């Protein structure tokens, strides 16, 4: 698209963060928004938000009130689903010992807990196994699979892993167990010899459900299992599947999958379930995180999820799954407190690693445009934190990033994070095919790799050759889509409550971005320990409001704000709720700024 075709908002062509500001809605979407408001009585601002995110006029009512009944796909449409559910139903009827092999992140922990809670309803002997991130790595390994069989498992169900683990699943088969895979990761080779491999991202899966996280896949598998059990004749009462939606919602938010289709219903209904605090583990996490308001998707993503992940990053990887599966409030409290302590340790380690990584990155970027894909590596980093490091560096450098921690043997564990429009998982698979990586895989936006230090130079050169043109084009075209303009006076609770009708917001359903045109930075100061900035703003009409720029103090946005203290500028951000001492108010979260 040429610059003549782009509709710049307030004519901002390069902001403090290097973005052009563009109107989110094109002329056709403006008409859709108008028709949506007139046809369905939707507030104008809500209609604009929906139209700008591709919601059709007739779909608006169902989008605003998503229900599981309306949006749940037929599970049997997923390839191998009937075989998977049939095998799980058989295990229930035969009262077999089932082992659940999960991943060490939130999606893996939640998926494991969902399945264990379901099987426990039938009185099955069920064991969850989460591998150690450092010593075992991601996914099933032959030794662990054989150990599970030796402990009596006749069925092993892998959740959030297993698609690319053919040797490990073959080892389980040889030891005498059958395996069912419930996963969502991209396929990187031949499928494993499992009874069933349910993965909506299989090439031969035409269900159209590739946006599901693993917990969503597990939930669909249990819907189908329940249907088969019910069809098999009278038995004991079946589990209440809707009671598991709090964990499905947690995983959907924390795995950053698109909030489209049934995922929206999972999150909307799952948050309602979470607010009832029936899950002892989630309730304990809300307590240690000091969440004094109805839990929402922000809390899942930034307060609860990181604490669950802390166990897998630097502690006992199984803590998160144990917490989410327990019904014992005392055990839940103890695990939640342990995870809270681990999370504080993780934050301290991350700050130290990030300072070093940013210095290395800035040195590379200072020489010009820098590499298309930034590769930061160190022998002193903790392998469990490289994913967080890559995410922070990606935001800092505005390009895909890999962060790699090398051990004493010269082998590195790395994690990559991408920018919208660039498929990092595909690049990693090509690097594996070229023999540049020991192993690797992932999604479009995130990937994991294992690399020998001796091949690091070749890997960097390969990344530049393969990705340079695409990444630099994305950097040049980077834009912030603006939904509309606001003033300090207009950013009030009434607006917030109206906008909340179009939520929840997240991946695939971005929160509305508004601009405060020509507002003065009356005061600014750093608060907390994470480089957060509190900014007092004043409109041209004299209205006042407070805004926050999180982790911005040493970033381009923070430097712009500090340099323009007392000046009149344009400010972009999102409107969110802030609770303090039981009082709800509006907070403007700054994402960008530009000269007025």
pLDDT tens digits, one per residue of 330-339: 999 999 999 9
- What are the beta bridge partners of residue 412? 406, 451
- Nearest 5°: CA angle at 516, between 515 and 518? 125
Check: CB of residue 346 under 8 Å from CB of residue 313.
yes
> Residue 102's closest CA among 321, 290, 343?
321
pLDDT at 214 over 60: yes
Q: Cβ neighbours of residue 208 under 8 Å, at least 6 residues apart?
A: 73, 200
Q: How far, in Å, are 24, 47, 290, 411, 422 from residue 480 at the CA level? A: 8, 20, 33, 39, 17
Tens digit of pLDDT for each residue in 135-148?
888 899 999 999 99
Residue 497 tokens read as 């409550």
Mean pLDDT computed over every residue of the chain: 94
pLDDT for the residue 3: 44
Q: Cβ neighbours of residue 340 under 8 Å, at least 6 residues apart?
A: 288, 289, 307
Token pair 């996490």: residue = 285
Tens digit of pLDDT for each residue in 104-159?
999 999 999 999 999 999 999 899 999 998 888 889 999 999 999 999 999 999 99
pLDDT for the residue 48: 94
pLDDT for the residue 1: 41
Q: Which domains does the chain have, with CATH numbers?
A: 9-52+483-595 (2.40.50.140), 70-342 (3.90.1640.30), 369-478 (3.10.310.30)
Residues above pLDDT 70, as percent of the chain: 99
Instruction: Compute the residue count for the chain.
Output: 596
Average pLDDT value for residue range 529-548: 93
Tens digit of pLDDT for each residue in 231-281?
987 667 899 999 999 999 999 999 989 999 999 999 999 999 999 999 999
pLDDT at 2 over 50: no
3-class secondary structure per residue, 484-541: EECCCCCCCHHHHHHHHCCCCCECCECCCCEEEEEEEEEEEEEECCCCEEEEEEECCC
> Residue 221's closest CA among 255, 254, 196?
196
Largest distance between two CA atoms of the chain: 75
Tens digit of pLDDT for each residue in 567-579?
999 999 999 888 8
> Residue 551's closest CA among 535, 534, 532?
532
Exposed, middle or buried by CB within 10 Å (0-12, 13-18, 19+), for 502?
buried
Exposed, middle or buried by CB within 10 Å (0-12, 13-18, 19+), for 485?
middle
Top-confidence residue, 406 or 364: 406
pLDDT for the residue 528: 86
Tens digit of pLDDT for each residue in 458-468?
999 999 999 99
Residues above pLDDT 90, as percent of the chain: 83
Cα–Cα distance for residue pair 12/253, rounded to 1 Å: 32
Alpha helices in 14-100 (DSSP H): 27-40, 44-51, 60-64, 68-71, 81-94
- Is the Cα torsion angle 132, 136, 139, 142 positive or negative in sign? negative
Cα–Cα distance for residue pair 322/316, rounded to 1 Å: 10
Cα–Cα distance for residue pair 218/34, rounded to 1 Å: 40
pLDDT for the residue 577: 85
pLDDT at 39 over 80: yes
Check: CB of residue 543 under 8 Å from CB of residue 563.
no
pLDDT for the residue 373: 95
pLDDT for the residue 38: 96
Q: How far, in Å, are 75, 354, 435 from residue 230 at the CA level? A: 15, 53, 49
């Amino acid at each position: 698209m040429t610059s003549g075709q782009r509709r710049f908002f307030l004519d901002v062509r390069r902001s403090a963060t290097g973005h052009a500001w563009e109107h989110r809605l094109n002329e056709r979407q403006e008409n859709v928004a108008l028709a949506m408001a007139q046809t369905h009585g939707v507030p104008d601002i809500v209609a604009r938000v929906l139209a700008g995110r591709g919601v059709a006029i007739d779909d608006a009512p169902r989008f605003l009130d998503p229900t599981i009944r309306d949006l749940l796909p037929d599970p049997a449409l997923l390839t191998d689903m009937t075989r998977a559910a049939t095998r799980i139903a058989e295990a229930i009827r035969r009262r077999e010992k089932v082992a659940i092999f999960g991943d060490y992140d939130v999606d893996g922990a939640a998926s494991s807990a969902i399945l264990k809670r379901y099987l426990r309803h039938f009185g099955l002997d069920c064991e969850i196994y989460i591998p150690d991130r450092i010593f075992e790595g991601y996914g099933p390994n032959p030794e662990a699979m054989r150990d599970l069989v030796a402990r009596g498992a006749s069925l092993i169900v892998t959740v959030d892993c297993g698609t690319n683990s053919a040797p490990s699943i073959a080892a389980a088969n040889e030891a005498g167990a059958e395996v069912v895979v419930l996963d969502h990761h991209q396929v990187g080779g031949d499928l494993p010899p499992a009874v069933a491999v349910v993965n909506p991202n299989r090439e031969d899966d035409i269900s159209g459900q590739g946006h599901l996280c693993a917990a969503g896949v597990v939930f669909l598998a249990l819907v189908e299992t329940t249907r088969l059990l019910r069809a098999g004749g009278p038995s004991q009462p079946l589990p209440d599947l809707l009671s598991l939606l709090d964990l499905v919602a947690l995983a959907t938010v924390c795995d950053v999958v698109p909030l489209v289709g049934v995922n929206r219903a999972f999150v909307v209904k799952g948050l309602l379930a979470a607010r009832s605090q029936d899950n002892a583990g989630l309730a304990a996490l809300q307590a240690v995180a000091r969440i004094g308001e109805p839990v929402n998707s922000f809390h899942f993503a930034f307060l609860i999820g990181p604490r669950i992940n802390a166990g897998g990053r630097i502690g006992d990887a199984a803590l998160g799954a144990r917490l989410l599966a327990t019904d014992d409030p005392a055990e839940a409290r103890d695990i939640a407190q342990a995870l809270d302590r681990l999370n504080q340790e993780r934050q301290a380690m991350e700050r130290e690693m990030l300072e070093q990584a940013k210095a290395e990155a800035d040195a590379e970027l200072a020489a010009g445009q820098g590499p298309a894909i930034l590769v930061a590596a160190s022998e002193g980093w903790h392998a469990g934190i490289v994913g967080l490091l890559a995410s922070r560096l990606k935001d800092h450098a505005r390009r895909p990033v890999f962060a790699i921690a090398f051990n004493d043997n010269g082998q590195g564990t790395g994690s990559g994070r991408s920018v919208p429009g660039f498929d990092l998982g595909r690049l990693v698979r090509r690097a594996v095919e070229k023999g540049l990586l020991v192993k690797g895989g992932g999604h479009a936006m995130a990937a994991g790799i294992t690399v020998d230090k001796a091949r690091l130079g070749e890997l960097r050169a390969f990344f530049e050759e393969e990705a340079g043109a695409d990444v630099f084009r994305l950097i040049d075209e980077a834009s912030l889509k603006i939904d509309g303009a606001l003033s300090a006076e207009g950013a009030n609770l009434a607006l917030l409550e109206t906008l909340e009708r179009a939520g929840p917001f997240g991946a695939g359903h971005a929160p509305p971005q508004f601009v405060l045109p020509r507002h003065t930075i009356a005061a600014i100061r750093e608060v907390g320990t994470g480089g957060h900035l509190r900014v007092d703003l004043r409109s041209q009409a004299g209205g006042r409001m407070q805004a926050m720029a999180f982790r911005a103090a040493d970033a381009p946005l923070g430097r712009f704000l500090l340099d323009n203290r007392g000046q009149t500028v344009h400010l972009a951000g999102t409107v969110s709720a802030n609770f303090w001492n039981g009082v709800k108010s509006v907070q403007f979260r700054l994402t960008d700024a530009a000269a007025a």
